[in-house]
Amino acid sequence: MNIFLYIIIFIMGSLFGSFFTLAVYRLPLKKDITHERSYCPNCGHKLSFLDLIPILSYIFLRGKCRYCKQKIRPRYLLLEVLSGLVFVLFAMSLNINIYSLQVSQVIYFLIGILYLATLFIIAGIDKENYKIEKSVLLFGYLIEAAYIIYLYIVEGNSNIYRYVIYLALFAILTLINVLYMRKNAKDSYTTQILLLCILFLVFTGEAVTILTITFTLLTIAFDLLLNKMYNAPKNKSHKTDKKENIKIPIGFYLCATNIICLIIADLYMCVENVHIGL
């Protein structure tokens, strides 16, 4: 029975992945993501139910739009598969078992799914537009606030003051960002990154957040080094005065790394608990 549970989780993850592609495309354009039907961005034709089946529709249509035959970018398929795998790995890291499910475990899993969805969308938008979408970030904070209230009221978690401090920092940074936006007519990317890190702190804790930041910095440094080596002029005597302004989607790297660190940390805790039980 457990295998069927994980198949359902994978399907649910791939459905979320299909929604992520829609949200990443529409949110920066300020378009509706809940009521307006999906359509082909090339010909504008509204997609039917069969066109919206994750993974299978891409395979059966051979990566082309059914109506205008325009090629569909492979990233849509990759994101659907990746989100399905991430959801399964997250469930495995929590040792989700249909025969021993607990209410607290189910609630944490559901909140975790919404948290992962938040990071997926933030990462996708930042990679394409080099910005952190405020509405998605706010959604993540609302989800975490609801979970904090649940922990305090239902489970009697007395460690709520730690969360209150983080949420207070969120309010202060949000105010700073508003003042910066009024002065410069745009959001502060640095402030948005700090707000994203606080989002990590609330849900994943200090240790995972520190690991996330550390590995992100290492990944960015490695990526910059590879770019420098790849783009280095073959003729060493040739000099250029032009300096390339390289934009780094820091939010994308942070979200991707945090997802990996969260799953590994939960898996480690799960193994440790099993070991203690033995």
**Of 243 and 206, which is predicted with more confidence?**
206
> 150-172 burial string, b = 16+ CB within 10 Å, else e?
ebeeeeeeeeeeebeebbebbee
Q: Looking up tokens 């960015």, which residue turns up?
A: 220
The amino acid occupying position 52 is: L
Q: What is the pTM of this model?
A: 0.86
Report the pLDDT averaged over residues 143-151.
86
DSSP-derived 3-state class of residue 66: coil
Q: How far apart are CA 253 and CA 25, in angstroms?
A: 19
Instruction: Kindly report, residue by residue over 50-66, the tens digit of the pLDDT.
Output: 777 788 887 887 778 77
Q: What is the pLDDT of residue 83?
A: 94
DSSP 100: S
Q: Which of 80-84, 114-118, 150-154 has the lowest mean pLDDT?
A: 150-154
Q: Are 180 and 191 in contact (CB under 8 A)?
A: yes
Q: How far apart are CA 166 and CA 170, in angstroms?
A: 6
Percent of the chain with pLDDT over 70: 89
Q: How far apart are CA 93 and CA 268, in angstroms?
A: 8
Q: Are 109 and 81 in contact (CB under 8 A)?
A: no
Report the pLDDT averaged over residues 20-47.
79
Most confident of 77-81, 105-109, 250-254: 250-254
Q: What is the pLDDT of residue 276?
A: 38
